Amino acid sequence: TMLNHKTFCITTTNRASMVLGDVETGDRIFIARGCSVPLIIRPARGDQTRDNIRSKLGISTLYELIGGAYVDGIMDEEVLKMGDRGELNEETIYLI
Protein backbone atom coordinates (compact mmCIF):
# COMPACT_ATOMS: atom_id res chain seq x y z
CA THR A 1 0.00 0.00 0.00
CA MET A 2 1.01 3.62 -0.42
CA LEU A 3 1.48 4.08 3.33
CA ASN A 4 3.94 1.20 3.45
CA HIS A 5 6.02 2.50 0.54
CA LYS A 6 8.84 4.80 1.64
CA THR A 7 11.31 6.45 -0.70
CA PHE A 8 14.66 7.90 0.33
CA CYS A 9 15.76 10.91 -1.69
CA ILE A 10 18.04 13.93 -1.66
CA THR A 11 16.62 17.40 -2.41
CA THR A 12 18.22 19.89 -4.78
CA THR A 13 19.58 21.63 -1.67
CA ASN A 14 21.17 18.36 -0.49
CA ARG A 15 18.71 17.60 2.31
CA ALA A 16 18.13 13.93 3.09
CA SER A 17 14.45 13.03 2.92
CA MET A 18 12.15 10.07 3.51
CA VAL A 19 8.83 10.25 1.64
CA LEU A 20 5.71 8.14 2.04
CA GLY A 21 5.15 7.40 -1.66
CA ASP A 22 7.02 7.47 -4.95
CA VAL A 23 8.91 10.65 -5.76
CA GLU A 24 9.97 11.93 -9.16
CA THR A 25 12.35 14.61 -10.34
CA GLY A 26 10.43 17.88 -10.28
CA ASP A 27 8.32 17.08 -7.21
CA ARG A 28 8.18 19.91 -4.68
CA ILE A 29 8.36 20.17 -0.92
CA PHE A 30 5.39 22.10 0.43
CA ILE A 31 5.05 23.19 4.03
CA ALA A 32 1.36 23.70 4.74
CA ARG A 33 0.25 25.88 7.62
CA GLY A 34 -0.96 23.67 10.46
CA CYS A 35 0.45 20.47 8.97
CA SER A 36 2.88 18.56 11.20
CA VAL A 37 5.10 17.30 8.34
CA PRO A 38 6.26 18.69 4.99
CA LEU A 39 4.23 17.47 2.01
CA ILE A 40 5.53 16.32 -1.34
CA ILE A 41 3.46 17.65 -4.24
CA ARG A 42 3.68 17.21 -8.01
CA PRO A 43 2.29 19.36 -10.80
CA ALA A 44 -0.79 17.47 -12.05
CA ARG A 45 -0.57 16.11 -15.55
CA GLY A 46 -3.10 17.54 -17.94
CA ASP A 47 -6.37 15.94 -18.91
CA GLN A 48 -9.74 17.42 -19.87
CA THR A 49 -11.14 17.49 -16.32
CA ARG A 50 -8.03 19.12 -14.90
CA ASP A 51 -7.90 21.61 -17.76
CA ASN A 52 -11.53 22.55 -17.02
CA ILE A 53 -10.68 23.06 -13.32
CA ARG A 54 -7.69 25.22 -14.22
CA SER A 55 -9.83 27.32 -16.54
CA LYS A 56 -12.66 27.78 -14.03
CA LEU A 57 -10.28 28.78 -11.23
CA GLY A 58 -8.10 30.93 -13.47
CA ILE A 59 -4.91 29.16 -12.39
CA SER A 60 -2.07 27.59 -14.31
CA THR A 61 -1.05 24.70 -12.05
CA LEU A 62 -2.85 22.08 -10.01
CA TYR A 63 -0.90 19.72 -7.77
CA GLU A 64 -1.24 16.12 -6.73
CA LEU A 65 -0.37 15.15 -3.17
CA ILE A 66 2.32 12.46 -3.21
CA GLY A 67 2.69 12.04 0.54
CA GLY A 68 4.11 13.30 3.78
CA ALA A 69 7.83 13.43 4.34
CA TYR A 70 10.67 13.80 6.77
CA VAL A 71 13.07 16.37 5.35
CA ASP A 72 16.30 16.88 7.27
CA GLY A 73 16.70 20.48 8.39
CA ILE A 74 13.13 21.70 7.92
CA MET A 75 11.23 19.92 10.64
CA ASP A 76 9.50 21.63 13.58
CA GLU A 77 10.73 25.13 14.43
CA GLU A 78 13.49 24.98 11.83
CA VAL A 79 10.96 26.03 9.22
CA LEU A 80 10.09 29.16 11.20
CA LYS A 81 13.75 30.17 11.19
CA MET A 82 13.88 29.62 7.42
CA GLY A 83 10.87 31.95 7.06
CA ASP A 84 12.54 34.60 9.20
CA ARG A 85 15.63 34.42 6.97
CA GLY A 86 13.51 34.80 3.81
CA GLU A 87 14.34 31.30 2.54
CA LEU A 88 10.70 30.33 1.89
CA ASN A 89 8.22 31.49 -0.73
CA GLU A 90 4.61 31.72 0.40
CA GLU A 91 2.02 30.75 -2.18
CA THR A 92 -1.46 29.36 -2.52
CA ILE A 93 -1.71 25.99 -4.21
CA TYR A 94 -4.61 23.86 -5.40
CA LEU A 95 -4.51 20.13 -4.72
CA ILE A 96 -6.56 17.60 -6.67
Band (41; pLDDT cuts 50, 70, 90): very high
Which pTM does this prediction carry?
0.74
pLDDT score recorded for residue 4: 66
pLDDT score recorded for residue 76: 66
Rounded alpha-carbon distances, angstroms, from residue 95 to 12, 16, 58, 76: 23, 25, 14, 23
DSSP state of 37: S
